[in-house]
């Protein structure tokens, strides 16, 4: 553990006795001082006396109290009391135990061999690697920057060398000032307003009432875990000239571990390994194989023999595992302050957004489940499904050429009932609710993000404080101009160069989208070809359900194509983003994110859009079918409608996608780490127990993916699209998303804490470009849900029939009794002798009545063959079309209002 001079916990943990003394049992004091480190000259008895005098007035917390006693929340004094020393102990006792502290530091693998210098960063290479000269130049320049270095070979493989790096105080201070690292400089003052006696009485009554209520089970236990809900420190960019304004108890603990690693990484990214402007940076050495890995260390083991409730946490990683990554706390709120302190603001904001999204899914999942249950309870009273199930005398036309037989409408009874479960009277209400929900979710997240930004002191942090990418700096270092804000020279990219690169990148994006559309076109051809194949299948089960078999196999093939194209998209997006040469890391991430999202979104949803809005819309009618390349007849909807195909598409893709992602996120690292441990046992035997240092334990873990949180965000954003865009066709989507996200939070936490190397902490103000993408999905969801209800579902045709053509026409009613005869009114009549030669079925339909059929029915609003205009559109068709357009306009307008 890091050393600190003294401290008391902040916020609610400040408890004073009536006599004016300090309750030391309610605090966690860290009095461990390194033997050769800086020592405080303050007399602790004088400090306690001063605190006793100031405790008489607790209405105002003075700044002077911070300068003497109170550490910032980022101090390591929040760890378990077993490794801490009370202030009542004698200082000489601490000095006598210094050798014990040093020995413990040596053994835990977090310090150099001297037990004093904390390891801030680890580099790993192999001695057999031929890039020796580059490493020597790079390491020589590392020492020239002031970093301390120590090498040690692996206990498993002597060819593997670990380079341990430590940044002294002088180096940390110099680069912290260059990087504008924000550090605590004084304490916030809280004024406790005086309450009126009446309000005090009300508070007492409320407190008595709360005693009878059960405790909040979703909150963390404040008695055993540190209070991390408040941040009592203001921060400002570090400056060595104003160092006296900052709260520095101990130089070794002033910069926490995450900040120290970030500073060292910043230095390594700008060190030369060869002469030349472009020959700089650790990333290039990792790419060409000079180094195998580079990572900061975890703060020890995440497990402990003792319970955290009785002995406290061994380190911050153990604390995170017990109160966040453990599956036993899946129902509790996340300790976001602790996550932010260990992993940085960017990862903390991701988990804050994921938790907020999961919480907002509860009302959406409840309403979606209600819509589904409403369909279940009203299934027996649905007049349309009753008529479909009883229509044994209605013979439907074949749905494909030659091999598809005639079929009774009653054979679609099961599909009609399943369609009613999702397409019922409550579906429109649910679509309107989800349109409002998407907007409310985004607006409430703005408020939540503002609160987090204030608590984490991110409001004043701007992108200008972010450093320039080393690749951009090396590429355009010859062309410099003065920064109008900082007044310092910086590399400059010409406007013409930037425009030319953007044009090439946009062309690449357009080409890849065309590749996706071509893949979808291939799926369409597969569907129109295989429906005839399944119709001629030997198995009666598949032959009688040829359309369902076609849809199911097409969805599975589409999913495989999606996963294969994802590999290609990643490489193309990376190539195009590097070609653009973004100036900062945020610009690089935003550009890469936008490309990958466009590729993935089009790849994942193109088939869904086809089924929702194009399937069965442009097929023509019997006797005049529209054909693809004048050969294949376009696929028709099932006699019960196209909504069942859309439900199958969404359900299969959503379940398979989430299952595959969860396996790849957790299963793959678990298998890799298990295989590594297995090889170690085989090489060294199971009887020999090797005590690996921390750097070797972390090296055997899996590295975080090269694009940071991109995969995590992308998975959730695509899920958000499934949850909102076509939710009118699949009301159970929010429920599936909720169940997945409850697992996803703990799965990601477990992965970050136990299975991955510690990622580099980075600072961020919000979730970046992902918020703009969420806004775009929210707008698109309103449009698509309006079209799904108006075009894909049968809600509008049923409404028009009930008010205009049914038994209740002109009476202003639309109950189930008004739907009598709807099925017959929605089907048109076709004369079988009018079939084209290539469309004429092999069967004549004599198996139904003993004589060849003369007429069959199909879904459309067309005149009968004996009318003046055979197979022309009826008046009911135009009424339905006008109602559909009116519904879309009203739905969109109401959403804007």
Q: What is the pLDDT confidence band of residue 881, given thresholds at 50, 70 and 90?
A: very high
pLDDT tens readout for residues 224-280: 555 443 455 677 888 888 888 887 878 888 888 888 999 999 999 888 888 766 678
Q: How far is CA 528 from the centre of its chain?
A: 37
pLDDT tens readout for residues 363-386: 999 999 999 999 888 888 888 888
Per DSSP (E only), the strands in 715-832 are 827-831
Instruction: Look at residues 599, 620, 608 and name the one whose alpha carbon lies nearest to residue 523.
Output: 608
Paired with 490 in beta bridges are 481
Average pLDDT of 625-642?
A: 76
Instruction: Assess whether pLDDT exceeds 60 at residue 703.
Output: yes
Q: What's the pLDDT score for residue 124?
A: 93
Q: What's the pLDDT score for residue 445?
A: 93
* Burial tier of 180 (Cβ tally within 10 Å: 0-12, 13-18, 19+): middle
Average pLDDT of 563-572?
A: 80
* Burial tier of 176 (Cβ tally within 10 Å: 0-12, 13-18, 19+): buried
Token reading at 456: 């984490």
pLDDT tens readout for residues 97-132: 455 656 666 666 788 888 888 899 999 999 888 888
Q: What's the pLDDT score for residue 215?
A: 58
- Give start and end residues of each alpha helix (H) in 391-494: 413-422, 427-455, 470-475
**DSSP codes of every residue in 658-688:** HHHHHIIIIIHHHHHHHHHHHHHHHHH-SS-
Task: Provide the CB-side half-sphere exposure for 473 (13 A, CA).
Answer: 16
Q: What's the pLDDT score for residue 559?
A: 76
Q: What's the pLDDT score for residue 278?
A: 64
Contact 743, 662 (CB under 8 A): yes
| CA-based radius of gyration for the chain | 34
Domain ranges of the chain: 107-189+228-297, 333-461+598-685+692-795, 468-583, 796-894
Q: Residue 83: which residues within 8 A CB-CB, separation 6 or more?
A: 1, 30, 32, 314
Q: Which residue has the tokens 């085989």?
A: 682
Check residues 399 and 203 and name the one with the higher pLDDT.
399
- Poorest-pLDDT segment among 156-165, 351-360, 532-541, 616-625: 532-541
- Percent above pLDDT 70 for the chain: 77
Instruction: Look at residues 695, 686, 756 and name the one whose alpha carbon lies nearest to residue 154.
Output: 695
The pair phi, psi for residue 627, each rounded to 5°, is -125, 150
Q: What is the pLDDT confidence band of residue 213, given thresholds at 50, 70 and 90?
A: low
pLDDT tens readout for residues 38-87: 333 444 444 444 444 444 343 333 333 333 333 333 333 334 333 332 33
Average pLDDT of 508-520?
A: 84
* Burial tier of 137 (Cβ tally within 10 Å: 0-12, 13-18, 19+): middle
Check residues 70 and 593 and name the one with the higher pLDDT.
593
Helix (H) or strand (E) holding 161: strand 160-166
Give CA–CA dist 322/746, Å, rounded. Answer: 11
**DSSP codes of every residue in 86-101:** -TTS-HHHHHHTHHHH
Q: How far is CA 239 from the centre of its chain?
A: 36
Paired with 482 in beta bridges are 489
- Predicted TM-score (pTM) of the model is 0.77
Q: Residue 326: which residues within 8 A CB-CB, separation 6 or more?
A: 746, 750
* Torsion angle in degrees (nearest 10) through CA of 209, 213, 218, 224: 80
């Amino acid at each position: 553990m890091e050393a600190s001079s003294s401290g008391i916990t902040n916020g609610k943990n400040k408890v004073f006795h009536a006599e004016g003394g300090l309750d030391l049992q309610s605090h966690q004091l860290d009095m461990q001082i390194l033997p050769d480190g800086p020592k405080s000259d303050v007399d602790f008895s004088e400090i306690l006396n001063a605190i006793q005098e100031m405790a008489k007035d607790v209405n105002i917390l003075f700044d002077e109290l911070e300068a003497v006693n109170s550490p910032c929340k980022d101090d390591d004094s929040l760890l378990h009391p077993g490794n801490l020393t009370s202030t009542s102990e004698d200082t000489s006792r601490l000095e006598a135990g210094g050798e014990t502290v040093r020995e413990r530091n040596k053994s835990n693998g977090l310090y150099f061999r001297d037990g004093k210098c904390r390891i801030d960063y680890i580099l790993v290479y192999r001695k057999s690697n031929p890039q020796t000269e580059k490493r020597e130049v790079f390491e020589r320049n590392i020492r020239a920057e002031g970093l301390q270095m120590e090498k040690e070979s692996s206990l498993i493989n002597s060819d593997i060398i670990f380079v341990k790096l430590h940044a002294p105080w002088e180096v940390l201070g110099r680069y912290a000032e260059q990087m504008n690292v924000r550090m605590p400089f004084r304490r916030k003052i809280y004024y406790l307003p005086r309450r009126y006696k009446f309000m005090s009485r009300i508070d007492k009554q409320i407190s008595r009432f709360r005693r009878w209520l059960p405790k909040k089970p979703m909150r963390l236990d404040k008695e055993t875990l540190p209070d991390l809900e408040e941040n009592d420190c203001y921060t400002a960019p570090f400056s060595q000239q104003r160092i006296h304004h900052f709260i520095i108890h101990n130089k070794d603990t002033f910069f926490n571990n995450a900040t120290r690693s970030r500073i060292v990484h910043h230095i390594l990214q700008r060190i030369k390994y060869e002469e030349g402007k472009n020959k700089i940076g650790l990333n290039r050495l990792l790419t060409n194989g000079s180094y195998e890995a580079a990572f900061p260390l975890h703060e020890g083991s995440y497990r402990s023999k003792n319970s955290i409730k009785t002995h406290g946490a061994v380190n911050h990683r153990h604390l995170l595992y017990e109160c966040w990554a453990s599956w036993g706390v899946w129902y509790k709120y996340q300790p976001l302050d602790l996550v932010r302190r260990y992993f940085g603001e960017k990862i903390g904001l991701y988990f804050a957004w994921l938790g907020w999204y999961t919480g907002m899914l509860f009302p959406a999942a409840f309403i979606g489940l209600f819509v589904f249950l409403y369909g279940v309870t009203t299934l027996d009273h649905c007049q349309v499904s009753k008529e479909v199930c009883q229509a044994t005398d209605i013979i439907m036309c074949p749905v494909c050429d030659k091999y598809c037989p005639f079929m009774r409408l009653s054979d679609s009874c099961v599909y009609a009932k399943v369609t009613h479960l999702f397409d019922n009277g409550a579906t429109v209400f649910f679509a309107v609710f989800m349109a409002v929900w998407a907007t409310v979710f985004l607006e409430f997240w703005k408020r939540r993000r503002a609160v987090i930004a204030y608590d984490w002191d991110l409001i004043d942090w701007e992108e200008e404080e972010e450093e320039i990418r080393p690749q951009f700096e090396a590429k355009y270092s010859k062309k410099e101009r003065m920064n109008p804000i900082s007044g310092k020279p910086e590399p400059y990219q010409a406007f013409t160069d930037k425009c030319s690169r953007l044009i090439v990148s946009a062309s690449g994006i357009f080409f890849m989208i065309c590749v996706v559309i071509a893949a979808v076109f291939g799926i369409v051809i597969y569907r129109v070809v295989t429906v005839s194949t399944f119709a001629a299948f030997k198995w009666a089960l598949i032959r009688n359900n040829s359309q369902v078999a076609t849809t199911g196999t097409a969805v599975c093939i589409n999913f495989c194509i999606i996963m294969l194209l994802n590999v290609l998209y990643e490489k193309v997006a990376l190539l195009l983003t590097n070609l653009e040469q973004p100036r900062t890391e945020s610009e690089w991430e935003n550009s890469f994110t936008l490309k990958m999202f466009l590729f993935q979104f089009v790849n994942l949803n193109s088939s869904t859009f086809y089924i929702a809005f194009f399937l069965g819309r442009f097929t023509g009618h019997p006797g005049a079918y529209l054909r693809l390349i004048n050969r294949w007849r376009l696929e028709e909807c099932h006699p019960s409608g196209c909504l069942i195909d859309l439900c199958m598409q969404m359900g299969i893709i959503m379940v398979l996608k989430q299952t595959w992602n969860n396996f790849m996120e957790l299963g793959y690292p678990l298998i890799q780490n298990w295989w590594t441990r297995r090889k170690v046992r085989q090489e060294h035997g199971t009887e020999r127990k090797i005590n690996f240092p921390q750097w070797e334990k972390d090296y055997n873990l899996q590295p975080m993916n090269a694009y940071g949180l991109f995969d995590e965000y992308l998975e959730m954003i695509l899920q958000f699209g499934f949850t909102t865009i076509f939710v009118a066709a699949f009301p159970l989507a929010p429920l599936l998303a909720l169940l997945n996200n409850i697992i996803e939070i703990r799965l990601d936490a477990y992965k970050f804490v136990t299975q991955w190397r510690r990622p580099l902490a980075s600072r961020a103000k919000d979730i970046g470009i992902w918020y703009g993408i969420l806004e775009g999905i929210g707008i698109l969801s309103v449009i698509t849900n309006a079209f799904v209800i108006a075009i894909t579902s049968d809600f509008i045709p049923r409404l028009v029939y009930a008010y205009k053509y049914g038994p209740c026409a002109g009476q202003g009613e639309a109950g189930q009794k008004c739907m009598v005869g709807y099925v017959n009114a929605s089907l048109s009549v076709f004369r079988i002798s009018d079939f084209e030669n290539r469309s004429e079925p092999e069967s004549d339909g004599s198996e139904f009545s003993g004589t060849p059929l003369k007429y069959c029915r199909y879904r459309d609003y067309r005149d009968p063959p004996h009318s003046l205009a055979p197979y022309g559109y009826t008046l009911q068709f135009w009424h339905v079309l006008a109602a559909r357009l009116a519904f879309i306009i009203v739905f969109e307008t109401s959403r804007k209002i």
